[in-house]
Amino acid sequence: MPGFELFGDLEQKEVQDVLDNGVLMRYGFDGMRNGHWKAKALEAELENTFQSKHVQLVSSGTAAVSVALASAGVGAGDEVIMPTFTFVASFEAIMMLGAIPVLVDIDDTLGLDPEAVEAAITPKTKAVMVVQMCGSMANMNSLQSICNKHNLLLIEDACQAIGGSYKGQPLGSIGDLGCFSFDFVKTITCGEGGAVVTNNTDYYLNADHYSDHGHDHIGDDRGAETHPYLGYNFRISELHAAVGLAQINRLPEFIEIQKRNYSILREALSSIPEVTFRTVPEGGEESYAFLNFFLPDLETATKVSKAFKNNGVDACFHYYNNNWHYIRKWEHLKDLKSLFPISEDVKNGLNYLKTKTFEKSDHYIARNISCLIKLSWTETEVKERATKMVEIIKRIV
């Protein structure tokens, strides 16, 4: 991760094919494109990859979350439970629909804590959105059971976890709807792009229409298509889809490299008694896009993080003070700093953030170091990196 590290002839060939053909938009212009449909071809490949009936490509992972929720009827005043550890896009995508993000604690999987989810359910709760952060998963069995018990949607934000699986099922294909990102720093990249994954045909048709201004996509005359309901523009372009079409065929290659590099680093760090690792639920396999480990306390993790940076160990993140990925620094959310008026429902629904604390999440994120696994590292470079990381940690602990 990320796929752009290994751009090559395949990506250039697919992009050049679009440029030669001259049709950059995914819909219409049937006579001009001479049978070239990159987005449709990528959707078909993704259906195979995710072992799912339907895939709808969209313009980003953020768009995928909004489209998925809207397709299942989530909107104004509904509550969506989500984790404290994620990317800001998670609550942005919920709020864009007029729904209310309800943040709850994580556990040692770095994903949603089922007990916290159960405690947060109210009559307004419509969905639980699990975020498969850093290439791994939460306790999916428990979360699915909770959703079944309370008749709630289970939405998977698997934007960082393509290639991971749980009990043989690809992450993103387990819930009612799954969401993926193919932005520039994902394992599979389109430059910008995302996907909604589902086995529910109604949700798929809703996503198909909603993401393109409500077009029903019936027939071959775009101007004659009807609009069964309101929609917006979350389309992906043929250029972006072309890059992804080349990249998805390389996913096994990318996962193999990630697993090799991950395994070298993990084996080295396992020699340090003070280092422990995130819990992967039984039956789960990470995508190996990140290596996440815990140190004894916040002070140690802070010192290790600084030492890594000072000694050239890049791409290791201590999310406790990160502006993008953890609740502590999301002042723009807590204070509702918006360019436009926020609805009273959302304002009132987010009042809890003024006083809510997340001690359990702090316990894990304060001690966590998350290391991106690069595809471009040679095996020698990974081993040298592992040696340096071990030396630094041993010196500090």
Residue 299 and residue 208 share a domain? no
* 74 closest CA partner among 56, 101, 55: 101
Query: Does 120 lie in the same domain as 179?
Result: yes
Q: Alpha-carbon distance 202 to 199, whole Å?
A: 9
Overall pTM > 0.95: yes
Question: Quick one: pLDDT at residue 136?
Answer: 98
Pair 42, 186 in one domain: yes
Note the pLDDT tens digit of each residue in 59-78. 999 999 999 999 999 999 99
> Among 250, 284, 309, where does a domain finish?
250
Asked if residues 106 and 112 have their Cβ atoms less than 8 Å apart, the reply is yes
Same domain, 238 and 349: no
Strands (E), the chain: 54-58, 79-83, 100-104, 125-131, 153-157, 165-166, 169-170, 177-181, 194-198, 276-277, 284-285, 290-294, 316-317, 368-372
Give the CATH number of the domain where residue 22 resides. Answer: 3.40.640.10
Residue 186 annotated to the active site: yes
The CATH number of whichever domain residue 354 belongs to comes to: 3.90.1150.10
Number of domains comprising the chain: 2
Tokens encoding 30: 């049937």
Residues 102 and 136 both lie in one domain: yes
Q: Which of 38, 126, 186, 374 is catalytic?
A: 186
pLDDT at 80: 99
Give the phi and the psi of residue 118 in degrees, each rounded to 5: -55, -40
Instruction: Please identify, among 192, 227, 250, the residue that sits at the C-terminal boundary of a domain.
Output: 250
Q: Identify the CA nearest to 81 among candidates 94, 70, 92, 72.
A: 94
Average pLDDT of the residues of the chain: 97
Q: What is the CA radius of gyration of the chain?
A: 21
| pLDDT tens, position by position, 215-251 | 999 998 999 999 999 999 999 999 999 999 999 999 9
Nearest to 244 by CA among 65, 15, 5: 15
For residues 298 and 365, membership in a common domain is answered with: yes
Same domain, 240 and 93: yes
What is the residue range of 326's domain? 252-396
Same domain, 209 and 258: no
**313-370 pLDDT tens trace:** 999 999 999 999 999 999 999 999 999 999 999 999 999 999 999 999 999 999 999 9
